[in-house]
Amino acid sequence: MRIIIVGGGALGRNLAEILIKKAHGVIIIERGAGRAEELAETLDCTVIQAEGTRPDILEKAEISKADAIVACTSHDQDNILIGLIARNYGVGEIIIRTDDLEFHTVAKSLGFHHVVNPPQTTSAIISDALRGLDTIELSTLVRGDVRFTSHIATEKHEGIRLSDLNLPKKSAPIGLYRNAGFFLYREDPAIKAGDELVFVTVGESDVEISALFATDNTTDDEAAAP
């Protein structure tokens, strides 16, 4: 795969090292001159010292040929902007890093499915460890065609209960996030706009769920069960 990483900090560098070992083609865009020089000297990949939010720089990195782009700078707004530009170029996989949960929600509402929030993930694991809990990594539970996915509800889903969603056969709701709280499916909450709904799916069911929550074709009748 040809993968562009925008942001050469700790996350970008570690990711690049892993991808290079797996023989992927990696291009790093880093605006800091000193850091870019260090990356170029220590990593076996192309490093471009420039501002990664500029379309001309992304074109220099041949974004139109990229299979994936990872926006992991230290600025959430820049990462979302990079994601929007990448979408315009038709990049297949777009991964966005956010540190602020508000921008995490913004990225999700814009239709980005792969949004990573390192502080939230790390703090949750540490909190569990302090309580004596051994948190199971989600990746160890994902096998075969099983996928976990989430989508942001819009006004068109307002008032519909989780149990009334007309989901594909090989899928089921797990629950939903609302502000700082999480409601399990068994509580069957009524959906509010802005809620992040979490599902488990098998096979291509995640594609059907994505269509259900697409803002341009979702209707109340489609969202609710007949």
| 79 and 155 together in one domain | no
| 16 and 113 together in one domain | yes
| 24 and 69 together in one domain | yes
| 68 and 107 together in one domain | yes
- Beta-bridged to residue 166, according to DSSP, are none
The enclosing domain of 160 has a CATH number of: 3.30.70.1450
| 6 and 118 together in one domain | yes
The mean pLDDT of 47-53, rounded to a whole number, is 96
pLDDT tens-place string over residues 67-87: 999 999 999 999 999 999 999
**Residue 34: pLDDT over 90:** yes
**Residue 2: pLDDT over 60:** yes
pLDDT tens-place string over residues 110-156: 888 889 888 777 777 777 777 776 666 666 666 778 888 888 888 88
| 16 and 79 together in one domain | yes
Q: How many domains does the structure of the chain reveal?
A: 2
| 98 and 10 together in one domain | yes
| 144 and 218 together in one domain | yes
Domain that holds residue 98: 2-122
Distance CA 79, CA 118 (A): 14
Residue 144, exposed/middle/buried by CB under 10 A (0-12, 13-18, 19+)?
Answer: exposed
Among 10-14, 111-115, 180-184, 212-216, the range of highest mean pLDDT: 10-14
Residue environment code for 165-180, b if the CB has 16+ CB neighbours within 10 A, otherwise e? bebbeebebebbbbee
The mean pLDDT of 51-60, rounded to a whole number, is 95
The mean pLDDT of 185-211, rounded to a whole number, is 87
pLDDT band at 15 (very low <50, low <70, confident <90, very high): very high
In a domain, 12, yes or no: yes
In a domain, 188, yes or no: yes
| 7 and 79 together in one domain | yes
pLDDT tens-place string over residues 95-112: 999 999 889 889 988 888
The enclosing domain of 79 has a CATH number of: 3.40.50.720
In a domain, 130, yes or no: no
Distance CA 3, CA 61 (A): 10
In a domain, 85, yes or no: yes
